[in-house]
């Protein structure tokens, strides 16, 4: 079965989908877990002209591999049961099975479900923390962010810092808020800058407000407009006000520049006049000798 599976994978890599599907099907007929899983993926996604999208068939294939304790299939089947069929209880069982085998995304999803209570049961912070921690320790950035926010305080800050170190924009944004609340304003601004660099919308909005306070209107306008374009309602409203402020500021500066230019011209003309008068005075003095 392994040889058939490997050959099927080679066909798939070369774009020969029909040949791959045929071989995966042959191996799946013998309940080969990896082949069943790949068939599940093909049915779930669909391949034009070869495999029609069929969620029922996808779940059947995932089920065969899941029964053989293949964690990727347990997770994939859980996602379909949760998102397509609405069978939350069955999905939870599979998420737990996959997470117990170290499946990181399954652990993260369990954290989300337990935190929100979206599994027809009460919220369970302790279980959410446990599963988020499992995923975060395996390097799942979003799990680290969610864990940091859920824990709060110094413990939460550690997880946010870990995710922020990897450049996660949401982690940087939340860490900036935590630091600001602690009174570490400058350090908080550093993380706010990092979050905005990753195009985190709320970070761009908050940084725009900071730039306005500092009088850096041009930079503020860029950040505010980006947040507005991304659909931030606050930015949409404030961008109009900021545009007027920037426009008025530009007019004032243009007037000031024009006035300054006129002053320079007047000063130059005065110096020229004075120089000419001095030359004429010397010439008259020479003529009287």
Average pLDDT (152-158) is: 93
pLDDT (tens digit per residue) in 1-16: 788 989 999 989 999 9
Burial of 30 (0-12, 13-18, 19+ CB in 10 A): exposed
The pLDDT score that the predictor gives to residue 265 is: 58
pLDDT (tens digit per residue) in 63-82: 999 999 999 999 999 999 99
The pLDDT score that the predictor gives to residue 93 is: 96
Q: Please, which pLDDT band fits residue 95 given cuts at 50, 70 and 90?
A: very high
Q: What mean pLDDT, rounded, does the chain reach? A: 88
Asked if pLDDT for residue 287 goes beyond 80, the answer is no
Q: How far, CA to CA in Å, does 5 sit from each of 9, 25, 27, 35?
A: 6, 9, 7, 6
Asked if pLDDT for residue 165 goes beyond 60, the answer is yes
Q: Which of 192-196, 200-204, 273-277 has the lowest mean pLDDT?
A: 273-277
The pLDDT score that the predictor gives to residue 99 is: 98
Residues 6+ apart with CB under 8 A from 160: 144, 145, 148, 149, 171, 174, 175, 178
> What does the alpha-carbon distance between residue 3 and residue 33 come to, in Å, rounded to a whole number?
14
Q: Please, which pLDDT band fits residue 117 given cuts at 50, 70 and 90?
A: confident
Q: Please, which pLDDT band fits residue 118 given cuts at 50, 70 and 90?
A: confident
């Amino acid at each position: 079965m392994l040889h058939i599976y490997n050959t099927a994978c080679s066909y798939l890599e070369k774009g020969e989908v029909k040949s791959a599907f045929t071989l995966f099907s042959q191996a799946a007929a013998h309940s080969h877990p990896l082949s069943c899983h790949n068939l599940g993926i093909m049915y779930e996604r669909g391949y034009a002209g070869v495999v029609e999208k069929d969620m029922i068939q996808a779940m059947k294939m995932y089920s065969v591999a899941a029964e053989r304790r293949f964690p990727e299939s347990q997770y994939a089947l859980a996602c379909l049961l949760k998102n397509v069929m609405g069978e939350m209880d069955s999905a939870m069982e599979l998420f737990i099975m996959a997470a117990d085998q170290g499946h990181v995304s399954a652990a993260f999803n369990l954290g989300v479900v337990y935190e929100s209570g979206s599994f027809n049961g009460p919220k369970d912070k302790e279980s959410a923390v446990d599963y988020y921690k499992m995923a975060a320790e395996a390097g799942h950035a979003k799990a680290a962010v969610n864990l940091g926010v859920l824990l709060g305080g110094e413990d939460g800050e550690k997880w946010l810092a870990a995710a922020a170190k990897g450049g996660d924009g949401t982690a940087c944004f939340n860490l900036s808020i935590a630091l600001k609340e602690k009174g570490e304003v400058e350090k908080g601004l550093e993380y706010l800058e990092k979050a905005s660099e990753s195009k985190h919308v709320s970070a761009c909005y908050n940084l725009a407000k900071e730039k306005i306070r500092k009088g850096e209107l041009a930079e503020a306008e860029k950040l505010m407009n980006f947040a507005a374009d991304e659909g931030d309602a606050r930015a949409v409203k404030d961008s109009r006000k900021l545009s007027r402020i920037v426009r008025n500021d530009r007019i004032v500066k243009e007037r000031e520049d024009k006035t300054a230019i006129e002053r320079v011209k007047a000063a130059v003309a005065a110096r020229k006049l004075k120089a000419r008068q001095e030359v004429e005075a010397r010439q008259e003095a020479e003529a009287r000798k």
